Amino acid sequence: MESAPAFCLKNQDEAEICLRDLKGAWIILYFYPKDSTPGCTQEACDFTESLPRFETLQAIVLGVSPDSPRSHQNFIAKSDLKITLLSDPTKEVAKAFGAWGEKKLYGKVSEGIIRSTFIIDPQGRIAHAWRRVKVAGHAKEVLETLEKLQKS
Known catalytic residues are 40
Ramachandran category for residue 93: left, alpha or beta (phi over 0 → left; psi -120 to 50 → alpha) = alpha
Q: Beta strand pairing status for 116-120 and 26-31?
A: antiparallel
What gap in Å lies between CA 135 and CA 56, rounded to an integer? 23
- Is residue 63 classed as helix, strand or coil in its secondary structure? strand
